[in-house]
Amino acid sequence: MKISRRSFLVSSSAASLSAASVSATPVLHSATPSASGHNIKLGISSYSYWHFKEVKYPIERVIEHASELGVPAVDVLHRQMESDDPAYLQGLKRHAFINGVNLIALSIHQGFVSPDPAERKKNIDHTNRCIEMANAMGIPCMRLNSGRWGTVRSFTRLMELRGVEPPLEGHTEDEAFKWVIDSIEQCLPVAEKNGVILALENHWGLTSSVEGLLRIANAFDSPYFGILMDTGNFLEDPYTKLEQIAPKTVFVQAKTYYGGGEWYSLDLDYERIAKILRDVDYRGYVSLEFEGKEDAQTGVPKSIEMLRKAFGLTC
């Protein structure tokens, strides 16, 4: 039987530990995920406290809330930040450090679905600037959208259409997929240089379907590209779809809807979702995106308690 180097090291380390030294000696993790999913860590999206209201909720306060709740990480929404000034970025990094919190993702808004090369270039440049900002803040992952046609102006109407809209007149979805793939290709070298993983979300438009999301994701073979699994963005038959994208998932945003959702509500079974992630040996972060109408001061703690129970976590 062939034994891997990792298995040999783990077994050798375990065998050499005496009962007296176990409590003082770090123990290597097994290559097999635990049944309760203890390899996963929780985070909180700053969006959970804002929901695009008129007055921005300070990222600094979100960091403090995470620290108070014993949650080790915060996922930062770019549009919620006060500025892109370097001093502000470094201030957020410092504030997170002194509160014992990691900044784990930067969620940006951009889109590459446009027939206008100049418009796509503007979004590519914006994405590359945000990659550099993420690096400056010590953030190792950044959320991407594919973008959408913009032929449905009302978000309420877009939700009625389940996130799908018709192409611009004279253009096709095949064109749009090429624009998106070509644009991401121009961002990947910057991501690799800065050590920031690009995570494409199952969002509205081209990535509202599993087929569309995987069509883009399968075009890349880079350790700095993967999928962001948003548990609330597949509006029908979510579990089958989440299973299909789980193998390529590098980051998870977990939606909850206490008090009823701002736009819609889903009754998600997080124990089932935890099993989907365990089955592919997912060991990363699950970041809460609280999207309910209940006050975030009660809705977020309630959500964190539920996620801890579902994933079998203590932090």
Q: What is the mean pLDDT of the chain?
A: 89
The DSSP code sequence of 219-262 is T---TTEEEEEETTS--SSHHHHHHHHGGGEEEEEEEE-TT-BS
Could you tell me the residue range of the domain that residue 205 belongs to? Answer: 39-311
Instruction: Report pLDDT for 41.
Output: 97
Q: What is the token pair recorded at 249?
A: 């998932």
Residue 131 covered by a domain: yes
Q: How many domains does the chain contain in total?
A: 1
Q: What's the chain's length in residues?
A: 315
* Tens digits of residue pLDDT in 56-114: 999 999 999 999 999 999 999 999 999 999 999 999 999 999 999 999 999 999 999 99
pTM as predicted: 0.87
Assigned domain for 181 exists? yes
Q: Report the C-alpha gap between 135 and 129 in whole angstroms.
A: 10
d(CA 75, CA 46): 6
Residue 74: which H helix or E strand, with range?
strand 73-77
Is 142 domain-assigned? yes
Positions in the chain whose pLDDT score sits under 70: 1-38
For residue 163, the model assigns a pLDDT of 81
Residue 221 included in any domain = yes
Would you state the pLDDT for residue 38?
59
Q: Are 185 and 257 in contact (CB under 8 A)?
A: no
**Burial of 172 per CB tally in 10 Å (0-12, 13-18, 19+):** exposed
Greatest Cα pair distance, the chain, in angstroms, is: 74
Residue 11 inside a domain? The answer is no
Report the half-sphere exposure of 289 (CA within 13 A, side-chain side): 24
pLDDT in tens, 214-231: 999 999 999 999 999 999
Give CA–CA dist 285/282, Å, rounded.
Answer: 9
Q: Is the dihedral of CA 44, 48, 49, 51 positive or negative?
A: positive
- CATH number of the domain encompassing residue 43: 3.20.20.150
> d(Cα 277, Cα 231) in Å, to the nearest integer?
11
Which residue, among 248, 190, 252, 195, has the nearest Cα to 221 in the 3D structure? 248
For residue 162, tell me if it sits in a domain: yes
CA dist., res. 168 & res. 205, Å (int): 12
